[in-house]
Structure 1
């Protein structure tokens, strides 16, 4: 990824994503899609107006979700929650390192069973868009590349490269047959495939080099026949932007966004403000000619095990519509309303043209922007309030201002769609609907339109009918003049109001709801029968019982303690009524834990430890060289010290955290490239052991070329003991420079601002800045300034004289101090070429290499060891933290597993350092979290009745005594079966 995103994006607000989007869009103008092969054309096709699936125009409402971030036992639950929100499509990545963690060892079983997942999508009558890589991004470890690729000689990623292409081919030969067997024309769910992902060179149908041609030919040779494209289409947090005609120009393909960034990955949960923001951005796509969108993410999930990258930890909640634990956020409701509408009128939206000019004088309120889409004889007209205050309005229909009984109130930022000239039955046409339509559905002989608004406001519908009209319900709302039927609607706060009439044997029904009831309304069906479920906080499975009854599993979240009325409309005109009752008594919100046990996990540090089976090398090998894919590794060697004193461990490459042991005793700890790992060593032979750990690998956004030395972890390359301890340069000041500064004239820093190492000095923009600090007394000529990372390019001045230049962002370099004695002034002129910039890592004063000791003869082994072994644990007695890696073990007890009571449990990580937690042998992911949540989700399917085991590997030796197993109230729920 770019500098800006790869290191600091998790700190940014989602609004910054728009800037990232602009940088992506500057690289891509091609949003075309390759057409289907002849064999698939009858099942999935497209033109410039939209998608055509099985002969029908389809508006794609797609949900980004990763099966790799969800236990397979919960796939159906998460997919169903998205289906209930109106989604008709799922978009997924097929992370390479998830399926081939070790070279040649493929895993497509259990949680990795892609075929089972795609079959489930099909079973739920949804479509799938599959993004097969081989690069993915996605805040996933190493961008989805297997670690073993790092050790392939001559390998360069995402370029014409025989070594890389051969590895990709072997993976595709396992992956693509699964994807291709699930293509829509073969009875499956897959309608689109994306090759590559966010490549800096080629999007859409671009093929800038032979690498793209190779991916294409390989995928096609393996049976890819549905439409496909490269890299992505219209990524951004506001994909429509200010474009009011997305279908304008000489288009060849539908307008579709494969990554509509909804909220952002530094969030846990989302707010009503988020819901309003992203709802508006969704309606802009619908109103301006888009043919679909995919929210990234609609459900984020969890980075189990070691799958997180360096920007996140266990949770990948993303503030998504469906939360990490299955709860429903405010954005869910906004997405559902847009989805229900778009799919109800996809026969227009999937084949429409701009008709805005026909409605220039349509509304009484000039503050509203009006746009329209036209298809056949039907129109959708959109009233867009771009102001921050509500706008009341009426619209001109047949020389009358409608609604007649009161204005339509358009909320700040809202886009309200009005419907014109829609055929409902062979004798009834909806001429106008001036109000907010939730959805339109066919229920046997009944055609049902659900409309909503705030209590106390009005809406008006006008129908044209043939034959006799017999109002059945809501008679007071109807007024018939000849063949025109007018319906005035006043919205009620507490219950749905049914307005219906018959023509012949066909029932036309309008169900009017308050906006709060609309948020709890669900369109669901079983065995060809459609139902409208109103009032339930969530309606899950809808099934037919053995007795032929219909059963709806309705959920009541624990945050609600009030009885909840529910109405269910089938084809009959009278609803079935129920009341969801809150649970009797109080739910258990915490599970007691037993006595903590402890085991020393630093035994490999002991001088006598047997390491003869470990991987051997002269220089240190980076993490993963032995095939281990965890976030931990041990290194061991011996050293002879001639002169007693302070020594500092320095590794040429590698990261992140390290704990150094000499003869079994901890002597230093810190970050390999940010802290001085200094230790006191006596003369003689010593065994050195270094425990290393990282918090995720970079996702390599936009990276092309070799990966062997990109973001290495552990110790890597030459490692030495440097005599003495470095002196850190501090008290930096900064002066921004206008334009290209004159290097012959250093500004005075008398009143300059204070600068903090690591801060972005450029506000994400290109430019120059001066930095200055004082070097403490320099003794002798054998001294160096060691720069650990400056972003991007830098000129170094000592006492006003330019002494060195360095090009390249965030790479270490040294500057010798010649002819300098005593204190000196250090000045830097830093050039930033884009994104964040400044002095990103420490600057230190150190000695030359005259007394350095090269450490060689390394042995290394990855992993935290056998964390599930029960040997050597003892009861935890300590009340102070340890200073080395430790294992802790405990258990908590669950009395019963009750299908009607569904608690969602999280385990807090209070007081812990860095590490991982296992429950019943399942790795919940890395901690600490980098988002506002201080606990790890325990999937319900991994728990069982009775004792459940917890194992904690804390790399810093912090104590687990503050850990608790607590219920997450927002997602814990009771389930009640409604049978009728």
Structure 2
């Protein structure tokens, strides 16, 4: 069992393969869901699984290791092997993944000597401990040891950081750590490399550019897209991440094939869920915190349902599989004579007489292009606006049998002893198909319309429309049986390939399929009017089209048991007093902290409080009354209305919204850290920037060349400290002094910068290079160091006392709602999925039977929250913590839209 490679591709056990990999993370779903997700990947034509290993999942507390249940990553790898799926293992230690802290455990941030992702002994000592646990699990499951791990990644996306000698030393240390612990399959990297590893590229677009960069770095290595971004993550308060449409996904995949890559890892193929507090935070603004769902707009959605993108992934995977022998050995061609209709372009890859053309449209609507090949024959090609259509020219499908085709070839293999070609085109389209053979072609069935057969019967040409019902053409060439099956787009979406000991089988006409642990093939009953087509050995199979495609499901009802008001009164038994401390210092990994401070107020009613170091959204209470919700963090200035000449109580309820998962500044504190000050000042610094005689507002669209130096002034009066927070350039000058922002890259944009050492009383001048606009925030916060607000108490909000309330009124402070519900009674004929809709709720968290489902926030884009069926009991307890104390009248349980589909055993 070996893995080898050359510049063209990887070779596994002597067979050249196109690596078609599905990124799936075992830690983002219950163990009970692993099999179905992996089976769905295999049914989509994936031959490999790409997974991270999350350190913080396996060592949630220092020295307490967990590899059981949902965290049994070894069992996940074993299941991949059982299902015949290879594995690309990505152990980190940094994984990004929009996962809290990029996979590092929270407690590691308490180690003052640790500098993350550097060649420093304290940090690497902890990494070695982690590697000692995780690498043997991977090592024992390498393909060389009888498992299915074929590649192991060194670190992750390290090339986004500064490259220097220390960085190279760090990567070599990790590489050597893998080798010393027994990794013998090839090593890979993504975005940044190390000697002895094959580098891949992460992207969604610009496939040619990334290919050229890899070719320049490693001309003798195979080229693989280590992360091909099928969708994108979502964060609170943003739009839904649905911009990468199914049509674009198809085009981008074809661009990858056109460039010459020999592998694609679809990131994500299935995203899953950021249960608990594991949703991360990323750069770009102060409050880009991940939602609980990690659906990612991926081919397989959060509820393991097939989508339009799944159909695209399956179609292209089958296409790649059908032509992989040619595709992996074809070279890009520069001077093949070809003529093409105006408004279209074409590039080709070829091997001998075989060729694939990628015809791209520059038109505004769907049109037919005409491609005249070097042999003089003209092929009509239907291309959507801005899209790409692949065209095969003289592909050798069998000895001395060649296919030219302008549509997708889904199957090119023997099925029940007959060489079968399944050819698919979009609804409403036609296919132009030409078969050339060294021997006469004999029709063994009824000839289709618009068919031409040459005089010597060695060339057959079809011009065929694709109907809802499959069309079958049977041929014999030199005594060998062939069949051409033409299907339309709907039928292609519902085409499924099964390979097993009894041979290859195909089922066409079912919207969804699955394979049980016992090997039974299950099918969702079609909702369409077309029939089904079964190819291959389907003994005892039935096509139950006479059954209703739907089953009625009773919606489970929530029963509100209690609503408890959470007292914003720190308990003396569970409180720390002193300067505000962050979550890690308080040894609270996730959840909430309540910061409380009493102070005397003079005759005035309004006062400003400055919090120089805060990294999470927080809710402000003054004298027990809700004041405001602060979203933009880093540093904050609060204007408070107080009771004059009295003692006032300021409380800050802070939720840990997730640690940075991608940044050069990993290891930020969570919550509030350090002193808080009274009587500060805040200035919006986006306005009044000067560029010559032009005055600019960076909150608006500005016509300025990037790199242009802008200038403005600001005034400091009676303050000795100042913070600049928001979107700023890495090249900054204040009063003529350049400020070095270590590790900063302009495209990270957001920063919190203490500029106290650069300011002076009175007028100050700031210069900054323009990067982009509009920006949401650039704020100057100033205060005086003598105005510290003392006497803070801090408590884990989970330990706050709460008491039942009878007549709840929204907005009086946080509450806990407790519900009971029974496990839904679902017939075996359905695959039900349950979700929680939190209509009307504000912000908080949800627990199911004590398990943290994750954060919620009513600002969107997430509306529904997954409740795994595997985590249900006969009677279930649902707890909702709501910061504003809103009524739960609009909360309900619902099934997802696919839950009522009827499933049957097919064979």
Q: Normalized against structure 1, the TM-score is what?
A: 0.79
Asked whether the 8 Å contact 1:907–1:964 carries over to 2, the reply is yes
Residue pairs, 1:562-961, within 5 angstroms: 565-570=531-536, 577-579=543-545, 581-583=547-549, 586-588=552-554, 590-595=555-560, 597-602=562-567, 605-606=569-570, 609-611=571-573, 619-635=579-595, 650-658=610-618, 665=624, 670-671=629-630, 673-676=635-638, 678=640, 680=642, 690-703=652-665, 710-717=667-674, 719-720=675-676, 722=678, 725-726=679-680, 728-729=682-683, 734-735=687-688, 737-738=690-691, 765-770=706-711, 782-783=718-719, 786-790=722-726, 791-792=728-729, 808=741, 809-813=751-755, 829-832=766-769, 834=771, 840=777, 842-843=779-780, 848-850=784-786, 852-855=788-791, 860-862=794-796, 864-865=798-799, 874=804, 876-883=806-813, 885-928=814-857, 932-945=861-874, 947-961=875-889
Residues 767 and 116 from structure 1, CA distance in 2 versus in 1: closer, same or farther, beyond 3 angstroms?
farther
Q: What is the distance in 2 between the residues matched to 1:852 and 1:930?
A: 34
Q: What is the distance in 1 between the residues matched to 2:541 and 2:342?
A: 42
Partner residue in 2 for 1:236: 203
Say if 2:401 is the partner of 1:429. Answer: yes
Partner residue in 2 for 1:258: 226
Asked whether the 8 Å contact 1:377–1:421 carries over to 2, the reply is yes
Residues 761 and 164 from structure 1, CA distance in 2 versus in 1: closer, same or farther, beyond 3 angstroms?
farther
Asked whether the 8 Å contact 2:395–2:403 carries over to 1, the reply is yes
Q: What is the distance in 2 between the residues matched to 1:339 and 1:345?
A: 10
Q: What is the distance in 2 between the residues matched to 1:584 and 1:114?
A: 36
1:893-950 deviation digits (Å, cap 9, x = unpaired):
44413231233332122222221111233322111177533121222322355x4321
- Structure 1: stretches of 5+ with no match in the other structure: 1-41, 546-550, 742-746, 821-825
Say if 2:420 is the partner of 1:448. Answer: yes
Cα deviation for residue 169 of structure 1 reads 0.4
Say if 2:303 is the partner of 1:369. Answer: no
Partner residue in 1 for 2:746: none
Cα deviation for residue 498 of structure 1 reads 1.1
Cα deviation for residue 258 of structure 1 reads 0.6
1:334-363 deviation digits (Å, cap 9, x = unpaired):
2222211112221122233224533x22x5
One of 477, 483, 488 as aligned partner of 1:509: 483
Equivalent residue of 1:810, what SS? strand
Equivalent residue of 1:595, what SS? strand
Partner residue in 2 for 1:334: 312
Residues 239 and 184 from structure 1, CA distance in 2 versus in 1: closer, same or farther, beyond 3 angstroms?
farther
Q: What is the distance in 2 between the residues matched to 1:203 and 1:842?
A: 28
Equivalent residue of 2:102, what SS? helix
Q: What is the distance in 1 between the residues matched to 2:829 and 2:687?
A: 62
Residues 767 and 889 from structure 1, CA distance in 2 versus in 1: closer, same or farther, beyond 3 angstroms?
farther
Asked whether the 8 Å contact 1:650–1:720 carries over to 2, the reply is yes
Partner residue in 2 for 1:535: 509
Equivalent residue of 2:56, what SS? helix
Partner residue in 1 for 2:194: none
Asked whether the 8 Å contact 2:345–2:361 carries over to 1, the reply is yes
Equivalent residue of 1:104, what SS? coil
Asked whether the 8 Å contact 1:142–1:697 carries over to 2, the reply is yes
Q: What is the distance in 2 between the residues matched to 1:899 and 1:202?
A: 51
Cα deviation for residue 854 of structure 1 reads 3.6
One of 158, 179, 184 as aligned partner of 1:199: 158
Say if 2:41 is the partner of 1:82. Answer: yes
Residues 284 and 456 from structure 1, CA distance in 2 versus in 1: closer, same or farther, beyond 3 angstroms?
closer
1:609-665 deviation digits (Å, cap 9, x = unpaired):
233x65x5754332122433113224567x675978777654442332445678x94
Cα deviation for residue 592 of structure 1 reads 3.0
Q: What is the distance in 2 between the residues matched to 1:803 and 1:424?
A: 71
Q: What is the distance in 1 between the residues matched to 2:585 and 2:224?
A: 42
Equivalent residue of 1:121, what SS? helix
1:753-804 deviation digits (Å, cap 9, x = unpaired):
6665xx897999444445578x8xx9xx74568545152479899xxxx699
Q: What is the distance in 2 between the residues matched to 1:434 and 1:123?
A: 37
Asked whether the 8 Å contact 2:513–2:524 carries over to 1, the reply is yes
Q: What is the distance in 2 between the residues matched to 1:123 and 1:783?
A: 67
Q: What is the distance in 1 between the residues matched to 2:51 and 2:189?
A: 15
Residues 654 and 110 from structure 1, CA distance in 2 versus in 1: closer, same or farther, beyond 3 angstroms?
same
Q: What is the distance in 2 between the residues matched to 1:875 and 1:313?
A: 30
Residue pairs, 1:305-320, within 5 angstroms: 305-310=276-281, 311-320=289-298
Residues 898 and 666 from structure 1, CA distance in 2 versus in 1: closer, same or farther, beyond 3 angstroms?
same
Equivalent residue of 2:112, what SS? coil
In terms of mean alpha carbon deviation, does 628-637 or 155-164 score higher? 628-637
Q: Normalized against structure 2, the TM-score is what?
A: 0.85
One of 481, 484, 490 as aligned partner of 2:464: 490
Say if 2:269 is the partner of 1:298. Answer: yes
Q: What is the distance in 1 between the residues matched to 2:604 and 2:276?
A: 41
Cα deviation for residue 537 of structure 1 reads 1.0
Cα deviation for residue 458 of structure 1 reads 3.5
Residues 253 and 882 from structure 1, CA distance in 2 versus in 1: closer, same or farther, beyond 3 angstroms?
same
Partner residue in 1 for 2:335: 357
Say if 2:494 is the partner of 1:520. Answer: yes
Say if 2:7 is the partner of 1:45. Answer: no
Residues 865 and 75 from structure 1, CA distance in 2 versus in 1: closer, same or farther, beyond 3 angstroms?
farther
Partner residue in 2 for 1:31: none
Q: What is the distance in 2 between the residues matched to 1:84 and 1:134?
A: 31
Cα deviation for residue 685 of structure 1 reads 8.9
One of 521, 524, 537 as aligned partner of 1:555: 524
Asked whether the 8 Å contact 1:445–1:571 carries over to 2, the reply is no
Q: What is the distance in 2 between the residues matched to 1:658 and 1:960?
A: 22
Cα deviation for residue 467 of structure 1 reads 7.9
Residues 734 and 543 from structure 1, CA distance in 2 versus in 1: closer, same or farther, beyond 3 angstroms?
closer
Residues 397 and 865 from structure 1, CA distance in 2 versus in 1: closer, same or farther, beyond 3 angstroms?
same
Residues 201 and 890 from structure 1, CA distance in 2 versus in 1: closer, same or farther, beyond 3 angstroms?
closer
Q: How many residues align?
A: 872
Partner residue in 2 for 1:322: 300
Asked whether the 8 Å contact 1:631–1:693 carries over to 2, the reply is yes
One of 457, 464, 471 as aligned partner of 2:444: 471
Cα deviation for residue 299 of structure 1 reads 1.7
Q: What is the distance in 2 between the residues matched to 1:66 and 1:656?
A: 26
Asked whether the 8 Å contact 1:268–1:318 carries over to 2, the reply is no
Partner residue in 1 for 2:357: 381
